Structure 1
Amino acid sequence: MKLAFLFPGQGSQKPNMLHHLHDHPVISEVMHQAGDILGESVYKLDSMAALESTTSVQVSLFVSSVAVLKAFASEGVLPDIAAGHSVGAFSAAVACKAIDFTDAVRMVKRRGQLMEQAFPSGYGMGVITGIDVRTMKGIVETYFIEKDPVYVANINAPDQVTISGSIAGIDRVINHARDRGARKADVLNISVPSHCPLLRPVSVSLYEELSKIHFRSPIIPYACNRTARLLKSPEKIREDLAFNLSHPVKWHDISSVLCEHGTRLFIEMPPGNVLASLAKKALPGGRAVSVEENGFRNCLLLAKRFSSDHS
């Protein structure tokens, strides 16, 4: 029986999320370390105004989740598998020790900058719940227009997909999805068209920069965003960190693969509880909690009890 740590991606951010983390010396240490690396206090990055920037969002998400990861490690709790959604994949790579924290925080900042430079305005993402993936792909293909492109992006559940592209294209698809009976169809708080072909040039640039960084073989498996396979190759992890930007995230398949490999406890790092909620729906036989919803100490005790029961 295995424990998986889940690391959220863009869309889970909340104002002051770094200020609301559990009071733990390791978390404070990571915050200061990140500030030293970036040359600015990370506590300036999570205000409502600052989170208008994709770069600030991604750095805040990364630092938040890694700080809590390291707090768990200091208390003797380590995951057996790590899975991160989109930018959360960088946190998963740190958890696997495939990449150093110093290199990762710099690359996350660069990732955000490249995305903002490529699409400063007029683009984003949406989410549709209550329509199966095949039907959603048909809707997107039917209403695709070259001048206002939109694509199916992440497949989070059999009846939950995200779409990515121009705001005009997203609005068009959302309206038709509502007409087709979608339970929910909304524009997400994301200002770039992630996980679609529009970001291919950004993926190429990011890969070039990641190629200058040393990657090691992971000490635990890393769940690949693009293929939903568990990776143990440092080069494959490098490729996924770069090219998951321009490919859909197969999150539902990742959840299923983790279960097939014996995962029975999922703990989502902050902020948010989206991945834990998806895990509960996908894997009724397992248990999924989030640090934000359940609290650091409760999750720590649960993880220790789980490890003791299954050692």
Structure 2
Amino acid sequence: MRAFIFPGQGSQAVGMGRALADASAAAREVFQEVDDALGQHLFRLMTEGPESDLTLTENAQPAIMANAIATLRVLEKEGGIRLADKADFVAGHSLGEYTALCAAEALDLSTTARLLKLRGQAMQAAVPVGQGAMAALLGADRAKAQALCDAAAEGDVLTVANDNDPGQVVISGAKAAVDRAASLAKEHGIKRAVLLPVSAPFHCPLMQPAAEAMEKALAEAPLRAPLVPVYANVTAAPVADPAEIKRVLVEQVIGTVRWRESIAAMFEAGVTSFVELGGKVVGPMVKRTAPDAEPVSVVTMDDIEALAKTL
């Protein structure tokens, strides 16, 4: 069995998508449709920068999605591949869950771009800059991370945001609490804590205003049943019902991204092949979670051509 998986924020880089667009009309069509949907020159920003603008959450989220969907469309159109024929499940890390839904045709591309633009804006606006923070805990499992959060919170918001793999967990919350957690990490048997260069504390209760904004937007969004089930971040279980998908997307804004559990559950269900499209981030996490799985990351035209021969 096979799953197509999609990266989250942090996988953006100036120059992304340029080689694909140069090589394939299918990719150019994706980037143009996203530009048209957003009314901005996002593709120019992706290819030329500046990096500071591309890194802004409201730009990074639709950009990462567009790059991944362009990769998929090239694979489909030039490789003669249909996702529904080659994938049993799809999943995406945080914003990548929207990419997965677009890939599985539950959301159309323009709607996905607009939802991610709004999601980025709403997440940024939810907490004033400087009041929230996130830190990656290296050499920590979820239990150690939770114990650290309990010890460092002192009445402030501090939660597990991303359970990425057996050795990496991300925490999120009030800046003072995250700073306390970083200083206490070694006492809790955690190798080290690395503050992340993010502009807001994602996937924690401080994001409640953003969750409310997404609930309103998703209520009005046309969303169909996906071609294949999507493993949801907040449940680490497959979902296919449109109403349930909308519910878990709202919950995801403040909830933990249970990526390690999602990969483990897919592997337990019989998935051995994991294809990451548009990045080289979540594939390595797969290998650390399920050592017997076979992840491949597909970014370049050469990657696409090599994958098409094996599917």
In the superposition, the TM-score normalised over structure 2's length comes to 0.90
Change (3 A) 1:284 1:299: farther
Out of 289, 295, 299, the residue aligned to residue 288 of structure 1 is 295
Deviation at 1:230, TM superposition (A): 0.6
Q: Which whole-Å CA distance do the structure 2 matches of 1:299 and 1:17 have between them?
A: 15
1:150 aligns with 2:158: yes
When structure 1 is superposed on structure 2, of 126-135 and 19-28 the one drifting more is 19-28
After TM superposition, list the pairs within 5 Å mapping 1:37-186 onto structure 2. Answer: 37-46=37-46, 47=49, 48-74=51-77, 75-77=79-81, 78=83, 79-122=87-130, 123-146=132-155, 148-186=156-194
Q: What is aligned with 1:219?
A: 227
Deviation at 1:25, TM superposition (A): 1.9
1:5 partner letter: F
2:144 partner letter: T
Q: What is aligned with 1:238?
A: 246
Q: Which whole-Å CA distance do the structure 2 matches of 1:296 and 1:257 have between them?
A: 31
Q: Which whole-Å CA distance do the structure 2 matches of 1:29 and 1:120 have between them?
A: 36
2:25 partner letter: P
Q: What is aligned with 2:306?
A: 301
Deviation at 1:56, TM superposition (A): 0.9
Change (3 A) 1:31 1:110: same
2:298 partner letter: V
Q: What is aligned with 2:14?
A: 15
1:297 partner letter: D
Q: Which whole-Å CA distance do the structure 2 matches of 1:179 and 1:14 have between them?
A: 35
How far does the alpha carbon of each residue in 1:140-185 deviate from its partner, in whole angstroms, 9 at most, with x for none?
A: 1111033x53221111123321101123322221221134443342
Deviation at 1:299, TM superposition (A): 4.4
Deviation at 1:66, TM superposition (A): 1.3
Q: What is aligned with 1:35?
A: 35
Change (3 A) 1:298 1:116: closer
Q: Which whole-Å CA distance do the structure 2 matches of 1:296 and 1:169 have between them?
A: 44
Q: Which whole-Å CA distance do the structure 2 matches of 1:256 and 1:249 have between them?
A: 14
Deviation at 1:26, TM superposition (A): 1.0
Out of 203, 217, 221, the residue aligned to residue 211 of structure 2 is 203
Q: Which whole-Å CA distance do the structure 1 matches of 2:140 and 2:182 have between them?
A: 11
1:227 counterpart SS class: coil
1:4 partner letter: A
Contact 2:157 2:205 in 1 (8 A): no
2:296 counterpart SS class: strand
Q: Which whole-Å CA distance do the structure 1 matches of 2:35 and 2:184 have between them?
A: 45
1:265 partner letter: S
In the superposition, the TM-score normalised over structure 1's length comes to 0.90
Deviation at 1:214, TM superposition (A): 1.5
1:153 partner letter: A
Contact 1:11 1:189 in 2 (8 A): no
Q: Which runs of 5+ in 1 are unaligned?
A: none
How far does the alpha carbon of each residue in 1:209-257 deviate from its partner, in whole angstroms, 9 at most, with x for none?
A: 1111121111101011100111111111112222201100110111012
Contact 1:10 1:190 in 2 (8 A): no
1:151 counterpart SS class: strand
Q: What is aligned with 1:252?
A: 260
Change (3 A) 1:18 1:303: closer
Q: Which runs of 5+ in 2 are unaligned?
A: none
How high is the sequence identity, in percent, across the aligned residues?
Answer: 32
Change (3 A) 1:264 1:304: farther
Change (3 A) 1:300 1:5: farther
Q: Which whole-Å CA distance do the structure 1 matches of 2:65 and 2:106 have between them?
A: 15
Deviation at 1:43, TM superposition (A): 2.3
How far does the alpha carbon of each residue in 1:35-78 deviate from its partner, in whole angstroms, 9 at most, with x for none?
A: 11111111243321213421011111111111112112212232
Deviation at 1:196, TM superposition (A): 1.1
Q: What is aligned with 1:266?
A: 274
1:263 counterpart SS class: coil
